Structure 1
Amino acid sequence: MDFCLGSMKTENLDVRSAGEMAEMSPPQSARFLVLFDFDETMVSESSDDAVVRAAPGQALPAWLRAAFRPGRYNEHMQRILAYLWEQGVTEESIRREVERIPATPGLPALLDFLRSHRRDFECVVLSDANTYFIEAWLQRAGARQLFLEVITNPASFDADGRLALLPFHSHGCPRCPENMCKQLVLQEYLLRRLRERGGDFQRVFYIGDGANDVCPSLVLREQDTALARRDFPMHRMLVDMRPGAFKASVVPWASGEDVVDCLRKFVEDR
């Protein structure tokens, strides 16, 4: 399985220095893994929706909106990005809209907490957005160094100035969109890090909001925690799951401070 590593040089994004790259690598002995979804978890809306504001009239034509098919959003977003390019929308305009997306409530406090406990937490973004949007937003927020990897659909600007988006992989999971099964990605990441670290993480924390965050949460163990944004699809689906179908504990959150309260208990429990 190919991974879109956070250390990958994405065209038109700032290149990090060797010192910054070293800062991004937590100790191999970090006890806990924290995985973040991006859209509506780290940022307050879908980054795909935000970019539409760069279109003429800040809206898509009806024919393009009608072209969407369930489970094929990556393919639909490819058409949207092609449309923006045809309309003369520049990289500068796209990046500006991405950088303007507000963080979810309390996210700065959560990121500050994780920065102050880098020896305890290894942080990763696992998202069905794309490399360009996430890298641009994290860099603008001054948070890129906190994350060891950004795992998402590859996207970069080509020589013609078009933002080219690709699917992350193909898979056969019936629960997930055709371009990414987060459960398969998470399983591969955990196996790879097990070999690299020489041991498992004591606990895994998965922070998400959407229906596609349920599938990866199904591989969490009893000692792990699914942090589901309160009253969002992930939370509702986990609450409705039949008893015994889900091993990890479920902690709802409405702000980053709620997540800090959850994580702090495990840091203090030494």
Structure 2
Amino acid sequence: RYLEAVFIQCIPPDRPVRRPISPHTNMAALSNLTNAASPAQRFLVFFDFDETIINESSDDAVVRAVPGQQLPDWLKDCYREGHYNEHMQRVLAYMAEQGVSQDSIRSVVEKIPPTPGLPALFQYLLKHQQDFELVVVSDANMYFIDTWLQHVGLRHLFRRIFTNPASFDAAGRLVLLPFHSHSCSRCPENMCKQVILREYLAHRQEERGGAPFHRVFYVGDGANDICPCLALGPQDTAFPRRDFPMHKLLVEMQQFQPANFKANMVPWASGDDVVDFLKKLREER
């Protein structure tokens, strides 16, 4: 499940923030707040989505919209490792055949809970948006991510969203499309997150007049979040969700292949753990 296919799509920033955030504001009350990207932003933060921003897999959650809230065995059994996007295309086609509507899918996605502490983390990042540029790199799809972020009022916090392109066709079926091919042996054949990270860093440095980010952070949970972290340098930090596959694999890598992973590692169980780290970092300047 963690070596899922993932594709890419970019979403531009929108309008600037208009009002401050109260520390007691809930997720839904953060609507209309945006992240005004600026060359002065010193830090770049990449976020995975499933089981990182939200507290479960959106692909698993959407099955609750199916009659009986489960898939037939024949559909479950057709999954091939490394070809998860193909599997989800069949799942979504099946859902359309069962009469599952766009409204039903949206309703299920909107009800997915955030991961503990992530609302506090986003409030902190909004408060200090002059320092942080945020990006989503996810193996979910654009419809799920955009729907959820819009619902909780955080859509405009992210300068870019990289994920599976997805849209509803004339027949009302949610359709996923593949993005690219690559030569990375670690990743599913249709997505390498490290390619996204490297290309985005190069693109943004050019846009910033040659100025790199002071530090890059990657917050994730899954095995497919390992590859992008291998492109991080000694000044950067990987935040693996504690006791999830990304954390376990990085611990093994630090022990048996230390030369391959150069970044710092800060495991987290709650978004509050990431906030504590970022507070200390800002105090050092």
Query: How many Å separate the matches in 2 of 1:62 and 1:90?
Result: 22
Aligned match of 1:250 = 265
Q: Which segment is superposed worse, 171-180 or 136-145?
A: 171-180
Aligned match of 2:63 = 52
After TM superposition, list the pairs within 5 Å mapping 1:202-221 onto structure 2: 202-221=214-233
What TM-score, normalized by structure 2, do the two folds share?
A: 0.88
Asked whether 1:111 is paired with 2:122, we answer yes
What is the Cα deviation at residue 24 of structure 1? Answer: 3.4
Per-residue CA distance 1:27-65 (angstroms, 9 max, x = gap): 121000000000000011000000011111000000000
Query: How many Å separate the matches in 2 of 1:222 and 1:139?
Result: 35
What is the Cα deviation at residue 167 of structure 1? Answer: 1.8
After TM superposition, list the pairs within 5 Å mapping 1:129-140 onto structure 2: 129-140=140-151
Query: How many Å separate the matches in 2 of 1:47 and 1:97?
Result: 9
Aligned match of 2:11 = 6
Match for 1:84 among 78, 84, 95?
A: 95
Instruction: Write the letter of the residue equivalent to 2:218.
Output: Y
What is the Cα deviation at residue 162 of structure 1? Answer: 0.8
Per-residue CA distance 1:48-101 (angstroms, 9 max, x = gap): 000011111000000000000000001100000000001110000001111111
Uncovered stretches (5+) of structure 1, i.e. residues with no partner? 9-15
Aligned match of 1:11 = none
Asked whether 1:100 is paired with 2:111, we answer yes
Query: How many Å separate the matches in 1 of 2:95 and 2:137?
Result: 26
Q: Counterpart of 1:25 in 2: which secondary structure?
A: coil
The CA RMSD measured in Å over matched residues stands at: 1.7
Give the percent of matched residue pairs that are identical in Structure 1 and Structure 2.
62
Aligned match of 2:77 = 66
Q: Counterpart of 1:69 in 2: which secondary structure?
A: coil
Per-residue CA distance 1:235-254 (angstroms, 9 max, x = gap): 00000012222100000000
Residues 43 and 101 in structure 1, CA contact (< 8 A), matched pair in contact too: yes
Query: How many Å separate the matches in 1 of 2:85 and 2:192?
Result: 12
Match for 1:233 among 219, 232, 245?
A: 245
Per-residue CA distance 1:210-232 (angstroms, 9 max, x = gap): 00000000000000000000000
Query: How many Å separate the matches in 1 of 2:170 and 2:146?
Result: 20
What TM-score, normalized by structure 1, do the two folds share?
A: 0.93
Residues 152 and 168 in structure 1, CA contact (< 8 A), matched pair in contact too: no
Uncovered stretches (5+) of structure 2, i.e. residues with no partner? 1-6, 18-31
Asked whether 1:123 is paired with 2:125, we answer no
Instruction: Write the letter of the residue equivalent to 1:75.
Output: E
